[in-house]
Structure 1
Amino acid sequence: MPQMTTSATTALTATDVLTARLPALREFGYWMRRYRRIWRGTVVISVANPLLFLAALGAGLGKLVDANHSGHLAGTPYLDFLAPGLLAASAMQNGFVEGAFPVFQSSRSRGNYPAAAATSMRPGDILAGHLLFVAFRVLLSGLLFLAVVVAFGVVRPARALLAAGPVLLTGMAFAAPLMAWAVRVDRQSRLNGLYRFVVMPLYMLSGTFFPVGQLPHWLRAVAACTPLYQGVALTRSAALGGGDAGAAAVHACYLLALTAAGVWAASRSYTRRLNS
């Protein structure tokens, strides 16, 4: 018994030392404790949604598409084309949901952010801890989606692991800029409007459901500038293979640059908001 007590005390002390040296882990721990209450529901949704989409659109509508031998798919079965696109689009949606509404609520006067800022934690620590949790949620949902895709036989397990990186990049490319904006938004209706009039239309400009080559020429250039198009192209290349390495590098650099810009903007927004 004394040995067990000593070991527990040592472990607790090590944890305390780690969180003292990395205050962002305290903020991350707060979000993880909240997540423990709802994780079962989110796991079910993360599995049920791709299962329904792939069964209805991929296995159902896909038979009609494949029967007509669309030249835009270059011989790729529609289910194989659709699954990586839905995977990237799901990462975008998760990045928006996790990076917009929780940040807005937390930045209110009775939210988590002002309470954390009243301690020794700096705005940068609060941001870093929350970003770490958002990355965890995007990656976890992406891995569950990939498990369904593998079960459908669209992607091999090894390829699924390669696609996890693009999924995380896509989600964070949306989440980081959104966090920079959401922390300063004064009305939730603005977040709802952004989702309805900006995020949702991106599905039609990303190559998720149909190749971008089917769009008018002028609209293809617009689509190529959107982050979801970049995420879909990178995810599809990683999941299916056979893509151009140079193009994949461009897609990855685009998403990394957008994420970095979002983190930089968020650090300034959080400092202004929480120090005001």
Structure 2
Amino acid sequence: MPTLRGSWFALEKSWTWYRRNWRATAVSSFLTPVLFLVALGFGFGSQVQSTALIGGVSYLEYLAPALVVVTAIQGATFESTYPVMSQFMWQKSYFAMVATPITPAQVLYGQMLWVGSTLFVKSAVFVGIAAALGATAGPGILWSVVFATLAALAFSAPLVAYSARLDKPDSFTTIFRFVLMPMTLFTGAFFPVSQLPQWLLPLVWLTPSWHGIELARGTAFGTLDLLPALGHIAYLVALTAGGVALGVKFFHRRLAV
């Protein structure tokens, strides 16, 4: 079966499930990020003065493009851990798929297409709500949807490959606590990373969230230069490609019989 067609069938399986069960994820996918924006942007943000440190904009406008990125990465983390393991260990969905002409690689591609498409739509909805609330500095925030999706895929692809190797979900808690949470709090979403200790900055620069936030915020405020933008994009694309390459290897090892 051609790669694109097989990957589309794998994507269609996830879409069929979601059409029937979307209500179970509606709050975490759409309402929670908006409440986060309202609480921090309007609540806490009302106590934060606009200074040159945050680009001379209101804290609400400073926060909005970064929240698009971190919420997309949070969504990618959940989509790339338990659901992937479940389809290997408990539901056996992946094994059923490769019993057809769909290959293990196409199963992975379908999974990544599903993650990317859902996060793109959710990010677009979030940006639309942020614009309705007056949290946007201009039309440049629309690029946040693209960059949030790219950053989320850059974290999701290696994580999907990692999940494909596991037989127990015990290490997922460690990822949530010691990888996802620090990426959410300390990579520039809520305050400039220049306020962090110098020794911590190299770790921040390794995270996809920092690169995504720099891209999203730079385009939202019109401050992003071409060469830094290309560097950020190249890094995120490299992470995604490397994760997909590892994922193909581990999916084939697990599913090929």
Q: Say whether the fold is shared (TM-score over 0.5).
A: yes
In the superposition, the TM-score normalised over structure 2's length comes to: 0.92
* Distance change >3 Å, CA 261–CA 19, structure 1 → 2: closer
Which of 172, 178, 188 in structure 2 is aligned with 1:207? 188
RMSD between superposed Cα atoms in Å: 2.0
Tell me the equivalent position of 1:154.
Answer: 135
Identical aligned residues as a percent: 34
Match of 1:96 in 2: 77
Alignment partners' CA distance in 2, 1:243 and 1:258: 21
Q: Does 1:55 pair with 2:38?
A: yes
Deviations 1:187-234 (A, max 9, x none): 111112211111111123210111101111111222122211111111
Q: CA deviation at 1:156?
A: 6.2
- The residue aligned with 2:250 is 269
- Within 5 Å, which residues of 2 pair with 1:209-248? 209-248=190-229
User: Following the alignment from structure 2 to structure 1, what is the Cα–Cα distance between the partners of residues 240 and 4?
Assistant: 25
Equivalent position amino acid for 1:267 in 2 = V
Corresponding residue number in structure 2 for 1:139:
120
Q: Answer whether contact 1:124 1:271 (CA < 8 A) is retained.
A: yes
Q: Distance in 2 between matches of 1:110 and 1:233?
A: 39
- Give 2:233's match in structure 1, choosing from 232, 236, 252: 252
Aligned to 2:48: 65
Q: Tell which structure's C-alpha radius of gyration is larger.
A: 1
The letter for the 1-side match of 2:157 is A
- Following superposition, the deviation at residue 102 of structure 1 comes to 1.0
2:8 to 25, 28, 34: 25
* From 109, 121, 127, the counterpart of 2:108: 127
For the 8 Å contact 1:72–1:214, the answer to whether it is kept is: no
Cα 1:241–1:103, aligned 2, differ >3 Å: closer, same or farther?
same
Counterpart-to-counterpart distance in 2, 1:262 and 1:184: 13
Counterpart of 2:20 in structure 1 is 37
Kindly state the Cα deviation for residue 41 of structure 1 after the two structures are TM-superposed. 4.4
AA aligned to 1:34 is: W
Structure 1: stretches of 5+ with no match in the other structure: 1-17
Deviates further, 207-216 or 39-48: 39-48
2:41–2:60: 8 Å Cα contact kept in structure 1? Answer: yes
Counterpart of 1:78? 59
Choose the corresponding residue for 1:46, options 29, 32, 50: 29
CA gap of 1:240–1:47, structure 2 versus 1, over 3 A, is farther
For 1:119 and 1:94, how far apart are their aligned partners in 2?
Answer: 29
Describe the SS at the equivalent of 1:38: helix
Give the aligned partner of residue 92 of structure 2: 111
Deviations 1:145-169 (A, max 9, x none): 1111111223267424322210110
Deviates most, 84-93 or 221-230? 221-230
Q: Which runs of 5+ in 2 are unaligned?
A: none
In the TM superposition, residue 117 of structure 1 has moved relative to its aligned partner by 1.6
Residue aligned with 1:75, SS: coil
Q: Provide closer, same or farther for how the CA distance between residues 144 and 24 of structure 1 changes in structure 2, counting only shifts above 3 A.
A: same
Once the two structures are overlaid, the 10-residue window that deviates more, 164-173 or 153-162, is 153-162
- Quote the Cα distance in structure 1 between the aligned partners of 2:3 and 2:69: 36
